Chain A
Amino acid sequence: MQLLRYAIYRFGTMLLTLLVVSVLVFAIINLPPGDYISNQINELRATGQASGLAKAEFLRREYSLDKPLWQQYMIWMGFMPGVHGFSGLIQGNFGWSFEFDAPVAEIVGDTLWLTVLVNVAAVLFVYMVALPLGILAAARSKTWIDYSSAFVGYLGLATPNFLLALILFHYGNKHLGLPIGGLMDPAYEGAPMSWGKVQSILGHMIVPTFVIGTSGAAAMMQRLRANLLDELGKPYVETAIAKGMSERRMLIKYPLRMAFNPFVADIGNLLPAMVSGSVLVSVVMGLQTIGPSLLIALKSQDLFLTGFILMFVALLTLIGTMISDVLLVLLDPRIRYEGRDI
């Protein structure tokens, strides 16, 4: 019951944070001098196309770009009625993309769940790699296992994601026959879900997951190793060994559980970095996530598309962090319910 109360409390703070984030995002997308429509109008004026001008003016009024900024924000969020009544983000209207001349929802469409998929896969990859390697590196510290995993870890931290993507892409395709580009075969794009499509997506996910996850896994592994090493020096470990426990059993039963907390809590640091990485890697590898659309939208000052994508990315990380917080309380009853303070 207490857990439920905590979950609700945590959900509430997430919503509040999201509200602040929305103000921040709106401020950022309005930072550049001029907006897409006024640039368009200037361009049309210069070429003297009156019909286009009328359309631009219409769009400007339609999306309330002629109102003061704070009103634009309220309308965008759906707190205030626009030209067509309440129709903003919270009502499920994501706005209009001027660059693509289509509703934002239509453009992002499929890419949303693919973004989620890529990130979830990367997080799973991080845990699957970091957990065994971290334990191994700590249990066999100062041996070649430890040193080589540290070396790989450092290299993973130091290589820029996008370069790793390019290199793996190149060699993965050349020597292993891994598919290049995109998240699925072009044949399956827009096709309904089928076994073939799932297979194709899985095949295409190997390299991106690896690339996005590597630096996170390296950082996570080092932290787990450090935590575990701290625990291994404590007297209770000695006691366990002295009473004849096998090393493996002892390791899993006591120190690992102690070292595990930061491992779960860390997702709060991990997730923002992952989402960042996935945006970058998507651009390089041409994955159908929201990364490439974000870049196009930013370069052409497409107000609502940028805004929506930034909000979505923030929402993704906030939900992830919330889940990890609730999970942490579930795992460790010692943690106080009323807010965490590390």
Chain B
Amino acid sequence: MTQLPDGRYVDDAPFDADAGLTTPERADLDAPNALLVWRKFRRHKLGLISGAFLLLCYLLLPVAGFFAPYAPNDRHPDHQYKAPESIRLFHEGSFIGPYIYSVEEVLDMETYTYKYIPDTDTPLPLKFFCLGDQWQVFGLIPSNRHLFCSPTEDPIFLWGSDQLGRDVFSRILYGAQLSLTVGLIGISVSFFFGIGLGSIAGYFGGRIDWVIQRVIEILRSLPELPLWLALSAAVPSNWGPVAVFFIISIILGILDWPGMARAVRAKFLSLREEEFVRAAEMMGAPSGRVIRRHLIPNFSSHLIASATLSIPAMILGETALSFLGLGLRAPAVSWGVMLNDAQNLASIEIYPWLAIPMIPIIVVVLAFNFFGDGLRDSLDPYES
């Protein structure tokens, strides 16, 4: 800054006529789009926590066997319907690390139910990183290590055991592998049809558009669950668990695409008239390239957000189907299959821990909802 003889102050920097073009209008818009979205998303605390939680869940799926003390279909015939036991840290006021009490089962001759009397005198510290049943990382690398095991001969049931003496805690961890991936496969199917048909309808218009629109309308006006039920009832009963799993996820996706296709179509209708599309077409780009390179990237973020919001519906769908006995079947383990055991009031009354799988379902669905909401809100960083 220099002061001119007449008292005015003048900036020393040379005058740049293009300054208005090179600096952004708003100071906070100085980074690539992805970074801007991230900055905005970061402020959405609930969405951020949910996203981190979901990421952690999916990362841990392949190593579920490490955290689960037993294999999902391991039976302990002598320990049916055992109540959940808790891990304690303090014994008689002093910290001795995680331990459990041994529990004695006594049959109450009046109600014919088992009572569980913990032996509170002798704490049994848990064993960590111990050897146990074999499990596989990614279903490939075998390992025997488990995070924790029972300190005694008796098995440890953190969340109780079911009617065959299987550990509910381990089954929930293994069940997550199927329950959480069903939504991902389903959404891929839905994406495939939704983007494909939606973009064809929106880009070409005319008769194709009319036909696809009518199909969308019809599919959207039908109740999903009865159709899901009917379709999954058609799955032959002699198919293996893996095949059933894939076909169920595909069924879940097949009825979901109309919503996606509609959104894609609406976007295409408005984007089709933009100059950059005209320009691409005039340069001789084929329709496929225009759709893939110029149109879809323009709203892929919106698609991701809406996909995040429709995954929970699929998770709930799988749960409902399996719960009714028409989805995944034993020996496959999913949260819905587990809840099948909690189908009647008697088991809720006497063995309430059989309904524990509903907690991860609710938590995961909520997390997806919050994450999706946060994503949707932060997708447009240019909006103040």
Residues of A near any B CB (own CB < 8 A)? 17, 20-21, 24, 28-29, 31-33, 154-155, 157-163, 166-167, 169-170, 180, 268-269, 271-273, 275-277, 279-280, 283-284, 294-295, 298-299, 301, 306, 309-310, 313-314, 317-318, 321
Give the residues in chain A near B230, CB-CB below 8 Å: 28-29, 31, 298, 306, 310
Which of B127-135, B167-175, B275-283, B318-326 makes up part of the contact surface?
B318-326
- B233 touches which one: A24, A32, A277 (CB < 8 A)? A32
Give the residues in chain B near A277, CB-CB below 8 Å: 225
Query: B343 contacts the other chain (Cβ, under 8 Å)?
Result: yes
- Interface contact A157-B226, CB-CB below 8 Å: no
- Interface contact B218-A21, CB-CB below 8 Å: yes
Count of chain A to chain B residue pairs whose CB atoms are closer than 8 Å in the complex: 117
Give the residues in chain B near A169, CB-CB below 8 Å: 345
B side interface size, CB within 8 A: 39
- B365 touches which one: A158, A294, A298, A321 (CB < 8 A)? A158
Known: A166-B345, A166-B348, A299-B326. Contact between A317 and B223, CB under 8 A? Answer: yes
- Interface contact B345-A158, CB-CB below 8 Å: no
- Interface contact B227-A17, CB-CB below 8 Å: no
Query: B221 contacts the other chain (Cβ, under 8 Å)?
Result: yes
Closest B residue, CB atoms, query A180: B345
- Interface contact A279-B223, CB-CB below 8 Å: yes
Give the residues in chain B near A31, CB-CB below 8 Å: 230-231, 234
- B218 touches which one: A17, A29, A166 (CB < 8 A)? A17
- B366 touches which one: A158, A170, A271, A276 (CB < 8 A)? A158
Query: B59 contacts the other chain (Cβ, under 8 Å)?
Result: no
Give the residues in chain A near B224, CB-CB below 8 Å: 272-273, 276
Residues of B near any A CB (own CB < 8 A)? 214, 217-218, 220-227, 229-231, 233-234, 236, 312, 316, 319-320, 323-326, 339, 342-343, 345, 348-349, 355, 358, 361-362, 365-366, 369-370
Give the residues in chain A near B362, CB-CB below 8 Å: 155, 158-159
List 6 additional contacts besides A159-B362, A167-B348, A272-B222; criterion CB under 8 Å: A158-B366, A158-B369, A160-B320, A277-B225, A280-B225, A306-B230
Which has the most chain B C-beta neighbours within 10 Å: A180, A298, A309, A318? A298
Which has the most chain B C-beta neighbours within 10 Å: A162, A271, A294, A314? A162
Give the residues in chain B near A272, CB-CB below 8 Å: 220-224
Give the residues in chain A near B369, CB-CB below 8 Å: 154, 157-158
- Interface contact A275-B324, CB-CB below 8 Å: no
- A28 touches which one: B220, B227, B236, B342 (CB < 8 A)? B227
Give the residues in chain B near A299, CB-CB below 8 Å: 233, 325-326
Known: A161-B320, A166-B342. Contact between A279 and B218, CB under 8 A? Answer: no
Give the residues in chain B near A154, CB-CB below 8 Å: 366, 369-370
Q: With A and B bound together, what is the CA distance between A157 and B362 in angstroms?
A: 9
Q: With A and B bound together, what is the CA distance between A306 and B339 in angstroms?
A: 25
Which has the most chain B C-beta neighbours within 10 Å: A166, A170, A310? A166
Closest A residue, CB atoms, query B349: A170
- Interface contact B355-A166, CB-CB below 8 Å: yes
Question: In whole Å, how far is A43's beta carbon from the nearest beta carbon of chain B?
Answer: 15
Q: With A and B bound together, what is the CA distance between A32 and B222 in angstroms?
A: 21
- B312 touches which one: A33, A158, A294, A306 (CB < 8 A)? A158
Give the residues in chain A near B214, CB-CB below 8 Å: 20
Give the residues in chain B near A321, CB-CB below 8 Å: 221
Known: A158-B365, A309-B226. Contact between A20 and B236, CB under 8 A? Answer: no
Closest A residue, CB atoms, query B358: A163
Q: With A and B bound together, what is the CA distance between A294 and B222 in angstroms?
A: 16
Helix, strand, loop or mixed for chain A's interface? helix
Helix, strand, loop or mixed for chain B's interface? helix
Closest A residue, CB atoms, query B229: A298
- Interface contact A170-B345, CB-CB below 8 Å: yes
Give the residues in chain A near B320, CB-CB below 8 Å: 160-162, 280
- Interface contact A310-B236, CB-CB below 8 Å: no
List 4 tightest A-B contacts by C-beta distance, closest first. A276-B225, A31-B234, A298-B233, A158-B365
Give the residues in chain B near A271, CB-CB below 8 Å: 223
- Interface contact A28-B345, CB-CB below 8 Å: no
Report 13 cross-chain contacts, Cβ distance below 8 Å, ordered by A residue: A17-B218, A32-B234, A273-B223, A275-B225, A276-B223, A277-B225, A279-B229, A280-B320, A295-B229, A299-B233, A299-B325, A306-B230, A310-B230
- A33 touches which one: B236, B345, B349, B365 (CB < 8 A)? B236
Q: With A and B bound together, what is the CA distance between A180 and B223 in angstroms?
A: 27
- Interface contact A28-B222, CB-CB below 8 Å: no
Give the residues in chain A near B221, CB-CB below 8 Å: 17, 268, 272, 314, 317-318, 321
Question: In whole Å, how far is A148's beta carbon from the nearest beta carbon of chain B?
Answer: 15
Which has the most chain A C-beta neighbours within 10 Å: B217, B234, B312, B343? B234
Q: With A and B bound together, what is the CA distance between A269 and B220 in angstroms?
A: 8
Question: In whole Å, how far is B39's beta carbon from the nearest beta carbon of chain A?
Answer: 23
Q: With A and B bound together, what is the CA distance between A114 and B316 in angstroms?
A: 26
Question: In whole Å, how far is B206's beta carbon from the nearest beta carbon of chain A?
Answer: 15
Closest B residue, CB atoms, query A151: B366
Give the residues in chain A near B366, CB-CB below 8 Å: 154-155, 158
Closest A residue, CB atoms, query B262: A342
- A275 touches which one: B223, B233, B236, B348 (CB < 8 A)? B223
Give the residues in chain B near A275, CB-CB below 8 Å: 223, 225-226
Closest A residue, CB atoms, query B233: A298
- Interface contact A160-B316, CB-CB below 8 Å: yes
Q: With A and B bound together, what is the CA distance between A310 and B230 in angstroms?
A: 9
Q: With A and B bound together, what is the CA distance between A32 and B366 in angstroms?
A: 36
